Every structure is written in structure tokens, then in C-alpha cells.
Amino acid sequence: MGQDIDITRKIIALLALRTATGVSQALIDSLSSARSETELFKKLDLTAELQYLKESYLNSEVRLFAAGDIKRWEGSGISLLAVGSPDYPELLAKIYNPPALLFCRGEIPAKRFPLAIVGSRAADPQGARFASTLAAELASSGACIISGLALGIDGMAHRGALSGSQQGATVAVLGSGLNEVYPRRHLKLAGEILASGGALISQFEPDTPPYPSNFLDRNRVIAGLSRAVIVVQAKKRSGALVTARYALEEGRDVLAVPGSPGNPLSAGTNKLIKSGAYLVSSAEDVCELFEQLSSNKETAGRAGCSDPVCRLLAESGEMHIDELSRRLGLQDNLHLKLLELELAGSIERRPGNLVALKTY
């Protein structure tokens, strides 16, 4: 309970400091690693400027206003998460200067594999369909699809994730406050995300309008929440490419969907692939990169095969044929056994002499 009180006091302190004249969001975020109000104030004692902020905070009534704001927001279903609190997203906490505070409606799915799908607001029909299908198939494989609720690719990714009726299949990160959902035409979509067990997240106070400068911060949070960022259609200059850059800076994987060289909407994704991003042409390409998704997708194959080969592949994932032979002690009859299982639809052969359970 003491730790909860410390976190609450820290949240009040951070909110109060936000109102002080001349305090930038970057400075507030730099204080986020403090685990309590006391530790935060130790950081403020480091320089005369910061010491002045501490004195201003301690001698004002702004703390009471901050506490009142928290109570009002919680009454409307908004929770506040501070770095160091148990509910703060683990992956986001690992980035450089994570947002000191997150405002959240709904529940951030903890058991799903977080993948971002982002792209152009002016997506063409082909790109929109692909984003929707990709999100639907990845959600059914155990992913939580994270995107920015924007028009175009973002919105289609959210809708695709929702199409399978899975709980907690998508999370939207806003470039505005949670009471100012933007774009307004996605207000219904935001409600559907919450109804499905997903969440709306913002680093901005609930009544903050969608200022243009907010969206770069929004993109950084999308990348920080995700194990990988998948870009579906992006021009040479695109916010989606900024999200990809943030992902690379934090050591996260970047994947991209190729397109025609003559399509301006593919210029950004093709450049990413040329620079080393993983090429994605289907959900299976993504599942092959991440065992957490592959194992989820291969459940059907495992359930229908009790052969020792299937059991070993279920436990260890795809395996080189030589390793499979060594582990099972089969040599002369292995190729015949694999052929039988392949014809039965239980396993599949992959490039590089790899063998895996059949995916569906």
C-alpha cells in the first residue's frame, strides 16, 4: 500500500510541475525515473533552477488542484499511469525518457504480443484492405495491434483487429487528450476498441486538443509500446516513417510492405526495405519472425498430430532437418516419415531444410 501512496504522490507532483511556468514536457519526462515524490524532489535539488520549481511547488495550492483533477478524471474512467507503477507498460518504460505520465481508458492487454501497424492517412483501397487483413490475421495469432487511430492505414488496422471479436486485440494511441478523440469521425471506432477490451492511451491531459506537434510524441509512444513496427504504405515524407525511426532507435524491429515503384504511397516502404527492414507480404511472414505468434498460430497443427516429430516441433518450434534427426534418433526413415506427415497436413517444409508444424 505504501508503494501505491508513493506513486500517487509522484503523479500529483508531476501534474503540479506541469503547470509551472517554463517547465517543458522534456524536463517532466526526464524526472519520470523517480520512484516516489521524495526521489523526484532529490532530482529537483540538483540545480538552482530546479530547486526553484520545488519551492514553488511546495508553497502553492497547485497540488490540491492536481489531486482534484485526478479524482475528476478517474470518475470519467481515465486512469493515470506513472513510470514505476505496476500498470505502466513494460516495453514503453524501457525507451529513452519515457512519458512521465500516461492517461488510459480501458485495459492495456498484458498477455498479447504488441505489434504496431501504421501507414498513410491517404491509403489506396489495396493498402487499406491489406492493413485490415494483416491486422485481423495477426490478432487471431495472438497479437495486440497498436496504431494511432488516424484515417487510412491506422483506422483499417484497428478495424481489422476488431473483426475477429477477440478481447484486447487493439490499442489506440492518441495525439490529443482522451476527451478530445481525433479525428472525430473515429469516435465510434474508439468506442468499439474500448468495448472489445482494448484501450485508448495518451500522454496528454484529457482535454488537450490535437495540436500538430503532439503527433510526433504520439508516434514515439506507438513505437515504444511495440515489439515491432509494420509500415503499410508511406510516402517519402510520412509520419509512419518517423514511427519506424523511433522504433529503430529503441532497438525494435521494423517491417514494411513492398509496393509498385511507380506508386508514391510505396516510396517510403520500399526505401525501408532497401535499408534493411523485413519484407512483409502476409501475416505468415510476421509469424515466422516471432515465435510468440507462430506458436499461437500452430495450435491447430499441434492438436491434430501426436507423432513424436510433431511433439518435438510443438515444443521447440521450427527445426533444421539434421537437428530433428539427431534429437529423434531417426536417420534412414526420417525423410519418409516427414513426407507422410507433410501429406497428412501436419507439418510443412520451409527454405533452408527447416521443418515446422503446419500453419493455418
Q: Which DSSP state fits 354?
A: E
How remote is the C-alpha of 281 from its chain's centroid? 20
Q: Is 225 left (phi over 0), alpha (psi -120 to 50) or beta?
A: alpha
Are the CB atoms for 216 and 123 separated by under 8 Å? Answer: no
pLDDT at residue 2 in the model:
38
For the segment 238-269, what is each residue's pLDDT rounded down to a tens digit?
999 999 999 999 999 999 999 999 899 999 99
3-state SS, residue 349 = strand
pLDDT at residue 182 in the model:
97
For the segment 286-309, what is each residue's pLDDT rounded down to a tens digit?
999 998 886 444 443 433 466 778
Reference 243, options 282, 205, 204, 216; nearest CA is 216
Q: Which domains, ranges and CATH numbers included, belong to the chain?
A: 2-106 (no CATH), 113-289 (3.40.50.450), 298-357 (1.10.10.10)
Q: What is the mean pLDDT of the chain?
A: 85
Answer positive or negative: Cα dihedral of 295, 301, 306, 308. Answer: negative
CB burial class (10 A; 0-12, 13-18, 19+) of residue 343?
A: exposed
pLDDT tier for residue 3 given thresholds of 50, 70 and 90: very low
Reference 29, options 81, 103, 102, 99; nearest CA is 99
Average pLDDT on 146-172 reads 94
Share of the chain above pLDDT 70, in %: 80
Name which of 115-124, 161-170, 304-313 the model is least confident about.
304-313
pLDDT tier for residue 230 given thresholds of 50, 70 and 90: very high
